[in-house]
Amino acid sequence: MTHSAQGAPLLSVEGLVAGYGSVEVLHEVSLEVREGEIVTLIGGNGAGKSTTLMCISGIVPVRGGEIRFAGERICSAEGGVRADRLVGRGLVQVPEGRRIFPRMTVLENLMMGAYGRDDRDGIARDLEQVYTLFDILRTRSGQLGGTLSGGEQQMLAIGRAILSKPRLLMMDEPSMGIAPLLVARIFEAVRELNRTGLTILLVEQNARAALKLAHRGYVLETGRVILADDASRLLVDPRVREAYLGEA
């Protein structure tokens, strides 16, 4: 897969240390995402993948190391930029479990993504992009979000994130609990978004699908990066095949 990934990283994580209470979950994790890439972070349950995203989003405090976005330090042990302000700068996360607003309509959920924007024409264009990606959301725009299927709610969560006008879109387990047919549609939408120039950091339990989609990947194990390479090479790496692809 070709991509433009030149110059300084859009996102740079260096020596990240973080945890909860007395438990240290991340041990000097380093990774980078360049403009135009899809980068995936794979690993088993409890490896620290979601914690990494939560640190980048400014939700989980950092105990060591630093995170830089678009050349600016946004997080370190000394403090960082507030999570809501990071969204305004284009660092947007689709959370695990979707977390839509079940008692709001599909359209109201989508417009929550544009909460901090005032460019009406741009919002209208982005809304049309979402409806083009996920036509089911157009037909169900007046339906309550909580009545959608799991896969449709995931589409809604992605659409809401697009309305936030991301420069880097982080996705946490988008295939979890979703029917295979809708998973394929969601991954195709991720590919289409990347073709428009959107940079994506993907945490995904389906390692095979994630590596087929991504340009590069990192393998996280018990809070440490143990492998980093082009996704195509990780797909055929014996350690990855045995541990995450179910192959001997």
Residues 211-247 have pLDDT tens digits of 999 999 999 999 999 999 999 999 999 999 998 887 6
Q: Which residues contact 21 (CB under 8 A, 6 or more apart)?
A: none
Q: What does the domain layout of the chain look like in residue ranges?
A: 11-99+161-244
**In the chain, pLDDT over 90 holds for what percent of residues?**
76
| Cα 136-101-62 angle, rounded to 5 deg | 115
Spell out the alpha helix ranges (H) of 94-179. 106-112, 120-133, 135-139, 150-162
The pLDDT of residue 139 is 96
pLDDT category, 6, cuts 50, 70, 90? low
Both tokens of 164, joined, read 């936030």
Read off the pLDDT of residues 68-101 as tens digits, 9 standing for 90 and up: 999 999 999 888 899 889 999 999 999 877 789 9
Distances (CA, A) of 101 to 108, 137, 153, 157, 223: 9, 15, 10, 10, 32
The pLDDT of residue 42 is 95
Averaged pLDDT score across all residues of the chain? 92
pLDDT category, 1, cuts 50, 70, 90? very low
> Which CATH architecture best describes the domain 11-99+161-244?
3-Layer(aba) Sandwich (3.40)
For residue 189, give the nearest of 126, 130, 106, 109 by alpha carbon. 130
| Mean pLDDT along residues 205-210 | 91
Contacts 24+ apart (CB under 8 A), 23-29: 24/63, 24/223, 25/51, 25/223, 26/51, 26/52, 26/55, 26/223, 27/222, 27/223, 27/224, 28/64, 28/65, 28/224, 29/65, 29/220, 29/223, 29/224, 29/225
Phi, psi of 2 (to 5 degrees): -90, 150
CA count, 13 A, side-chain hemisphere, 36: 9
